[in-house]
């Protein structure tokens, strides 16, 4: 796979809000090629909040440290001016480690690097740049930090059969803002995923991911909520991942047209999953939502 230019996703063209379609098992999904997928959880909607199209349109993260920290969001309006002027003009779905490090993924329109912007619990920021590998895509859609804090997953846009594994910048002792952040391993997925916009760890071996898939050919539904069961907890080496579609994300709006699923966050303190869905057309401004879901 050769690097390709990132798909730009301007806020004015994104879509939100949603018609809730419970599909606990998604019986229409094609069977796995090998053994049956492990039993997957079902998730039901328990609430929602309006998502601001400028500052909450890309991703979100719950922050545990310092205590009583507010939820964090990313959007075109959250990119600092000095970061944007240096070419980093797209921010993806962030995540926070359990000790309070907060990480935002950035991409640019050209070149051979990605950037991870890290805020430590004291409030100081640092930037960690990663130089692309031979077949790595320029897109930098999301990050997810392992529960032990040592490893960070990062995702690419398009149809992919892998997630990339890095030492967590600012947390892992082998990282430094002055050095290239290396990819150290790969999560090999047992089936392709398309346009994943965000993932978060539910536990050490379970990921929950939002897919903006507009086609529905991979799992029998568009915009699916995915579960990825890892064969083992991340330890810096390659690991296999089994992918299951849990349900379609909520798609409700006063406008018709194309929605855009965005980032996700799992808050282990409450067991709440949140996912951003941007509404079609002009309704992106008025009824885009962050949905709250919980396990049945």
28 falls within a domain? yes
Secondary structure, 3-state, 163-214: EEEEECCCCCCCCCCCCCCCCCEEEEEEEEEECEEEEEEEECCEEEEEECCC
Kindly report, residue by residue over 196-241, the tens digit of the pLDDT: 999 999 999 999 999 999 999 999 999 999 999 999 999 999 999 9
- Number of folded domains that form the chain: 1
pLDDT at 194: 98
pTM for the model: 0.86
219-242 core/surface letters (b: 16 or more CB in 10 A; e: else): bebbbbbbbbbbeeebeeeebebb
d(CA 10, CA 109) in angstroms, rounded, equals 13
154 falls within a domain? yes
**Residue ranges for the chain with pLDDT beneath 70:** 1-39
Q: Please, are residues 6 and 90 in contact by the beta-carbon 8 Å criterion?
A: yes
CATH code, domain carrying 181: 2.120.10
44 falls within a domain? yes
| Domain assignment of residue 24, given as a range | 11-295
pLDDT at 39: 60
1 falls within a domain? no
Phi-psi domain of 49 (left: phi exceeds 0; alpha: psi -120 through 50; beta: other): beta
Kindly report, residue by residue over 132-145, the tens digit of the pLDDT: 999 999 999 999 99
Residue 178: C-alpha distances to residues 4, 132, 181 (Å): 26, 16, 9
pLDDT at 25: 34
How far from chain centre, in Å, is Cα 160?
A: 14
Q: Strand pairing partners for 59?
A: 74
4 falls within a domain? no
Query: CB neighbours of 29 closer than 8 A, spacing ≥ 6?
Result: 219, 220, 221, 245
pLDDT at 41: 81
């Amino acid at each position: 796979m050769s690097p390709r230019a990132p798909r730009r996703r301007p806020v004015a063209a994104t879509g939100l809000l949603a018609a809730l379609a419970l599909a606990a098992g998604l019986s229409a999904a094609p069977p796995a090629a090998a053994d049956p997928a492990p039993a997957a959880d079902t998730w039901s909607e328990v609430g929602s909040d309006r998502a601001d199209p400028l500052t909450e349109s890309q991703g979100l993260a719950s922050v545990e440290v310092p205590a009583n920290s507010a939820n964090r969001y990313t959007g075109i309006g959250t990119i600092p001016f000095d970061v944007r002027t240096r070419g980093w003009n797209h921010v993806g779905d962030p995540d926070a480690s359990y000790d309070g490090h907060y990480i935002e993924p950035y991409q640019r329109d050209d070149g051979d690097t990605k950037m991870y912007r890290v805020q430590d619990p004291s409030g100081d920021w640092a930037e960690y740049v990663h130089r692309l590998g031979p077949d790595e895509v320029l897109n930098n859609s999301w990050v997810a930090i392992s529960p032990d804090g040592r490893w960070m997953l990062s995702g690419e846009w398009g149809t992919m059969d892998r997630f990339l594994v890095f030492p967590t910048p600012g947390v892992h002792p082998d990282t430094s803002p002055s050095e290239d952040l290396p990819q150290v391993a790969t999560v090999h997925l047992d089936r392709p995923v398309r346009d994943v916009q965000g993932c978060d760890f539910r536990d050490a071996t379970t990921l929950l991911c939002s897919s903006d898939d507009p086609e529905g050919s991979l799992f029998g539904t568009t915009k699916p909520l995915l579960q990825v069961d890892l064969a083992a907890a991340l330890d810096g080496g390659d690991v296999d991942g089994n992918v299951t579609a849990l349900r379609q994300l909520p798609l409700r709006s006063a406008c018709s047209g194309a929605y855009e699923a965005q980032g996700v966050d799992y808050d282990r303190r409450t067991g709440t999953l949140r996912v951003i869905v941007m509404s079609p057309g002009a309704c992106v401004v008025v009824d885009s939502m962050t949905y709250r879901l919980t396990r049945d």
